[in-house]
Amino acid sequence: MDVSEFFPIWSQLTNEEQNALNKAAVTTTIPAGTILHDGIGSCRGLYLVKTGQLRAYILSDKGREVTLYRLFPWDICLFTASCMMRSIQFNIIIEVEKSCEVINIPAGTYQGIMEGSAVLANYTNQIMASRFSEVMWLVEQIMWSSFDKRLASFLINESRIDDSRSLVITHDKIANHLGTAREVVTRMLKYFQSEGLVKLTRGTIELLSIEERYPEE
């Protein structure tokens, strides 16, 4: 996985542009828990995810979190370079959720190339449109989905990401992901358990027939 493989439009870039991107790219390994970006002012550049997992979230005054989206291998993290986009007027936090190998490209280099390359600018536009779509999905979930559906779809999605029926996650963490209180999560999980949809044991949530009750729409 080198830089070129992250950009489907690579062959449309000039040799100079390709060389500039390659030259600026630095491959590095970052441990889980690292904060790559903590809002306006932070600007480490783009991260191309080779392995591991990033999480983008927002944080309230009172320390409540809401997960916006995740980035997986083959994804490009754009908002760690948000300084190159003046019109980004919101604070987003990007953390390394599972330790990862990434390729970092400084924002200045990327911006310089993008300013001269319609191909790269249009592709960057597509990346932003994808993230925008993920956030819009979240807005719809928050506005129109009852909490039981949001929690079920969170559990099913986590199970897919981890490729496991047994999730090791605290109720507190789930509450952070979904922007609610721990008590609300615990209560709903207990309801799920009473319905035979999950089985709760100390520190883990085992998925039973939850997909039958909450099929994907």
Interface with a second copy by CB under 8 A: which residues? Answer: 58, 60-62, 64, 66, 68, 85-90, 92, 114-118, 120-122, 124-133, 135-140, 142-144, 179
Q: Which is nearer to a second copy, 27 or 122 (CB)?
A: 122
Q: Which is nearer to a second copy, 74 or 90 (CB)?
A: 90
Nearest distance from residue 172's CB to a second copy, in Å? 17
Q: Which is nearer to a second copy, 3 or 119 (CB)?
A: 119
Nearest distance from residue 96's CB to a second copy, in Å? 22
Q: Is 63 exposed, middle or buried (0-12, 13-18, 19+ CB in 10 A)?
A: exposed
Q: Is 78 exposed, middle or buried (0-12, 13-18, 19+ CB in 10 A)?
A: buried
Nearest distance from residue 93's CB to a second copy, in Å? 12
Q: Which is nearer to a second copy, 94 or 120 (CB)?
A: 120
Nearest distance from residue 1's CB to a second copy, in Å? 21
Nearest distance from residue 32's CB to a second copy, in Å? 25
Q: In sequence order, which residues have a C-beta less than 8 Å from that of residue 95 and are 6 or more positions away?
A: 33, 34, 35, 36, 54, 55, 57
Q: Which is nearer to a second copy, 130 or 164 (CB)?
A: 130
